[in-house]
């Protein structure tokens, strides 16, 4: 166990940023995870990653390593054993991906695995990608009939559900088809959203290609697509943080509907605004600002299932920068 005391010059910093500096090479995702689990204590109490520190606050941090030592990763002599270790050795899967996917599991039940998927990792292989989340999970959990309940874009982070048996997969897919699953995302969009709470019911064509690459577009001949946008926080005329509820699950749906409304998603290289993206990069945005925040539904027997994933630190930093910029004006 390590302890730190906040000095006068460090006061006012967010807890996650303070620990990122103090802990050096420990990844921010790992820091965020131990805070979220309540393993970090400020003056003996739990605190959120956004908590602002005061002079002489005492922070207790559990043992945490910057990286997995050689030989201790999946398949190493001190890592996975038995069938799992053998599967890892045979798979040829990149060790970094296996470790990232294993760390991303935030909830496990008899029916489902819930992952807080990092941005930049595809949910499945294909199009030149050998391994995605589902392939990595099958290596980590050999013998389990794992299947994706739904999908997220490679550059989207957040809640991803994986069924652990065929019956669960069928039930979950039925709930999705019936619109009985509530899926909510957080997205930063360009400009000041003046539309209030807005339902965008615009059909999407998902079968068009430009230069060999799939491109989704609004078209009357497309599939029914419904998104509900609600502003959460305004940053002057520069940008707006939105919560988006998906009532259908078309490819790139939020991104295309946001662009259709005249407020493209920050960091979206395909449907976004290049000038706005450049401004956001200057504030530290290194990816698309789209995060699957929560999912919930009721099983047929009436039990409620819910899962959530907090906004990743790399996106929270951008909001902090926007807020600071707005206050200075």
Quickly count helices (H) and strands (E) in the chain: 9, 16
What pLDDT score was predicted for residue 89? 54
What pLDDT score was predicted for residue 128? 63
The dihedrals phi and psi of 103, each to the nearest 5 degrees, come to: -70, -25
The dihedrals phi and psi of 155, each to the nearest 5 degrees, come to: -90, 5
Using the structure block, give the residue that is written with the tokens 């940023």: 17
Pick out the chain residues at pLDDT < 70: 1, 24-25, 65-92, 127-128, 211-212, 328-329
Burial of 140 (0-12, 13-18, 19+ CB in 10 A): buried
What pLDDT score was predicted for residue 212? 66
| Structural domains in the chain plus CATH codes | 2-61 (3.10.290.10), 82-169 (3.30.2350.10), 179-328 (3.30.2350.10)
Element (H, E) at 294: strand 290-298
Supply the residues annotated as catalytic.
Answer: 153
pLDDT tens digits along 139-189:
999 889 999 999 999 999 999 999 999 999 999 999 999 989 999 999 999
What pLDDT score was predicted for residue 36? 80
Strand partners, 188: 241
Using the structure block, give the residue that is written with the tokens 């997995």: 68
Distance CA 329, CA 320 (A): 15
pLDDT tens digits along 52-89:
888 888 898 887 755 444 344 444 433 454 555 555 55
Residues 6+ apart with CB under 8 A from 81: none
What pLDDT score was predicted for residue 28? 77
Burial of 19 (0-12, 13-18, 19+ CB in 10 A): buried
pTM, 2 dp: 0.73
* Of 41, 43, 40, residue with least CA distance to 30: 40
């Amino acid at each position: 166990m390590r302890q730190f005391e906040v000095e006068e010059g460090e006061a006012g910093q967010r807890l996650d940023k303070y620990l990122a500096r103090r802990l050096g090479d420990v990844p921010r995702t790992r820091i965020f995870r131990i805070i979220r689990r309540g393993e970090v204590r400020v003056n003996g109490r739990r605190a959120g990653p956004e908590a602002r520190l005061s002079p002489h606050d005492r922070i207790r941090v559990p043992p945490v390593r910057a990286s997995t030592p050689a030989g201790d990763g999946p398949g190493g002599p001190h890592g996975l054993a038995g069938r799992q270790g053998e599967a890892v050795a045979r798979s040829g899967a990149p060790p970094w991906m296996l470790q990232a996917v294993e760390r991303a599991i935030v909830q496990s039940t008899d029916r489902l695995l819930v992952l807080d998927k990092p941005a930049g990792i595809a949910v499945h292989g294909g199009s030149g990608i050998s391994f995605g989340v589902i392939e990595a999970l099958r290596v980590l959990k050999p013998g389990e009939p794992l299947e994706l309940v739904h999908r997220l874009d490679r550059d989207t982070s957040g809640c991803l559900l994986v069924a652990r048996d065929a019956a669960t997969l069928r039930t979950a897919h039925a709930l999705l088809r019936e619109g009985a699953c509530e899926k909510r995302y957080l997205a930063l969009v360009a400009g000041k959203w003046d539309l209030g709470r807005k339902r965008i019911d615009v059909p999407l064509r998902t079968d068009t290609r430009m230069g060999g690459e799939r491109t989704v577009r609004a078209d009357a001949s497309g599939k029914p697509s419904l998104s509900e946008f609600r502003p959460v926080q305004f940053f002057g005329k520069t940008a707006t943080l939105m919560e988006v509820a998906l009532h259908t699950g078309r490819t790139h749906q939020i991104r295309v509907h946001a662009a259709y409304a005249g407020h493209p998603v920050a960091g979206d290289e395909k449907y976004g605004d290049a000038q706005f993206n450049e401004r956001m990069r200057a504030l530290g945005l290194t990816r698309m600002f789209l995060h699957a925040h929560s999912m919930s539904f009721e099983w047929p027997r009436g039990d409620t299932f819910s899962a959530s994933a907090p906004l990743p630190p790399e996106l929270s930093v951008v909001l902090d920068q926007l807020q600071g910029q707005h206050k200075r004006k």
